[in-house]
Amino acid sequence: EAQVTQNPRYLITVTGKKLTVTCSQNMNHEYMSWYRQDPGLGLRQIYYSMNVEVTDKGDVPEGYKVSRKEKRNFPLILESPSPNQTSLYFCASRDDATNEKLFFGSGTQLSVL
Amino acid sequence: SQKIEQNSEALNIQEGKTATLTCNYTNYSPAYLQWYRQDPGRGPVFLLLIRENEKEKRKERLKVTFDTTLKQSLFHITASQPADSATYLCAPTSGTYKYIFGTGTRLKVLA
């Protein structure tokens, strides 16, 4: 089954403790991206990757890092999480055939205390 | 700056009626516009895409219009069902890599 898999589904951590949210897709898509979703603000793009070793900033990249060492994986790294990074995070990959339609993961609910 | 507006208030309609959701955008010219459905606690799911040179597109009970003069897209669900209850997001897209989404409209179809 074609899917984007994120882990963990829920994460509670404390300020300053480094964490990584993993994202993996099995569709061999070149493009992947990360979003955060907050009430009243909608989905905002954090980072995206056009292909292996190629990444760029979205609209809200501050406090986040990404890496793309393999085509299928695109982890999101929070080096020193802060409470304002408490949010619902989504990873997505894009259909290469059309370069348009996004496939989203099920989300990671992060709470930073 | 680029801005997208969707009805922030929930839309309640009776089963069987047509639901119409609005997406307005300002300060850019999208090449195409996508609509996604999102259920609580889940990731958005792609529904439809309409290009700037298309006026209307249909898929089963769904219809999308795109008016580049008004800078607006309308999303219609005909013969609505309680299972259509969800939040619907629009994403007018002008570039190749960056995506901007509206905040979504929550639709509730009453049985």
Predicted confidence (pLDDT) per residue in A47-56, tens digit = 999 999 999 9
Distance from CA of A71 to the nearest CA of B (A): 16
What tokens were used for B37?
Answer: 């459905």
pLDDT score at A100? 81
pLDDT score at B95? 75
Strands A76-78 and A65-66: antiparallel
Going by C-alpha positions, the residue among B40, B97, B57 that lies closest to residue A94 is B97
What are residue A60's DSSP bridge partners?
A: none
For residue A1, pLDDT over 90 is answered with: no
Residue B85 neighbours by CB distance under 10 Å? 19
Strands B56-59 and B3-6: unpaired
The torsion angles phi and psi of A83, rounded to 5 degrees, stand at -55, -30
The torsion angles phi and psi of A84, rounded to 5 degrees, stand at -75, 0
Eight-class DSSP state of B18: P
In order along its 111 residues, chain B shows pLDDT tens digits of 888 999 878 999 999 999 999 999 998 889 899 999 999 989 999 999 999 999 899 999 999 999 999 999 999 999 999 999 999 999 999 877 889 999 999 999 999
Pick from B44, B96, B103: CB nearest A99: B96
Pick from B36, B44, B99: CB nearest A45: B99
Res. A98 pLDDT band, cuts 50 70 90: confident
Rounded mean pLDDT of A37-43?
91
For residue A81, pLDDT over 80 is answered with: yes
Rounded mean pLDDT of A102-111?
97
* Cβ of residue B43 closer than 8 Å to a chain A Cβ: yes
Beta strands (DSSP E) in chain B are 3-6, 11-14, 19-26, 32-38, 45-51, 56-59, 62-67, 72-77, 86-93, 105-110
pLDDT score at A80? 97
Which residues on A lie below 8 Å from B98 (Cβ)?
Answer: 45, 48, 58-59
Res. A68 pLDDT band, cuts 50 70 90: very high
